């Protein structure tokens, strides 16, 4: 410990001595820099604005994950009429979600937990002005299971990892929504 203390003192002394040393050259003498030459200064780089395709990929992915979060929230009470399920889904996707929740409501079933998603953009229809994006996912429903209202499991089917594909489209209002999706059997990814 004493060795490090002495070393730190020596380094601090050198730094103070270097900072306090007066320049040996006078202004205008060779070797003395009196100002910054703007032509030699590094240029400040501004980041390139995001490309439309990158923005579209991000928004489509957010819509996809948002659809599952909205569905999971509505599934806790099997509320097929929840206005939140239409925030990120439309068309066939919204129909599938609504019918699934209504069936669960009729059967006296609720869902607990949340799905875990790992979405990846698989295709984009255009790099200039994207309007349709396909997403692939290996969703995990291990901790997103159905229960009867009395708390008993609805069935003995465990959750697990499933291959999912989804179509996400740009809407006329500028939002992105999932229009179709397909979920495969447990173990498909």
Using one digit for the tens of pLDDT, what is the confidence trace for 2-17?
443 343 333 333 333 3
Which helix or strand (DSSP H or E) is residue 4 part of? helix 2-20
pLDDT at 28: 46
CATH 3.10.450.240 fits 52-186, yes or no: yes
First to last CA, the chain: 55
Continuous H helices in 42-176: 52-75, 91-107
Spell out the domain ranges in the chain.
52-186
Q: Contact at 8 Å (CB) between 164 and 140?
A: no
pLDDT at 45: 79
Per-residue model confidence as pLDDT tens digits over 48-57: 888 999 999 9
Greatest mean pLDDT among 15-19, 47-51, 95-99 lies in: 95-99
Residue 18: both structure tokens together: 């270097």
pLDDT at 41: 53
- pTM score of the predicted model: 0.74
Mean pLDDT for the stretch of residues 155-169:
91
């Amino acid at each position: 410990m004493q060795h490090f203390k002495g070393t730190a003192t020596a380094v601090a002394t050198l730094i103070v001595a270097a900072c306090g040393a007066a320049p040996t050259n006078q202004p205008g003498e060779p070797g003395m820099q009196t100002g910054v030459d703007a032509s030699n200064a590094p240029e400040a780089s501004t980041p390139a604005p995001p490309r439309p395709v990158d923005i579209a990929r991000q928004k489509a992915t957010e819509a996809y994950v948002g659809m599952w979060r909205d569905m999971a929230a509505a599934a806790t009470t099997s509320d097929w009429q929840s206005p939140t399920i239409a925030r990120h889904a439309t068309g066939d996707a919204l129909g599938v979600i609504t019918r699934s929740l209504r069936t669960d409501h009729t059967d006296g079933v609720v869902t607990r937990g949340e799905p875990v998603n790992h979405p990846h953009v698989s295709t984009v229809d255009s790099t200039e002005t994207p309007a349709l994006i396909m997403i692939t996912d290996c969703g995990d429903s291990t901790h997103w299971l159905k229960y009867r209202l009395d708390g008993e499991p609805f069935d003995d089917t465990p959750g697990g990892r499933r291959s999912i594909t989804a179509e996400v489209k740009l809407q006329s209002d500028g939002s992105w929504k999932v229009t179709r999706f397909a979920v495969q059997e447990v173990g498909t990814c």
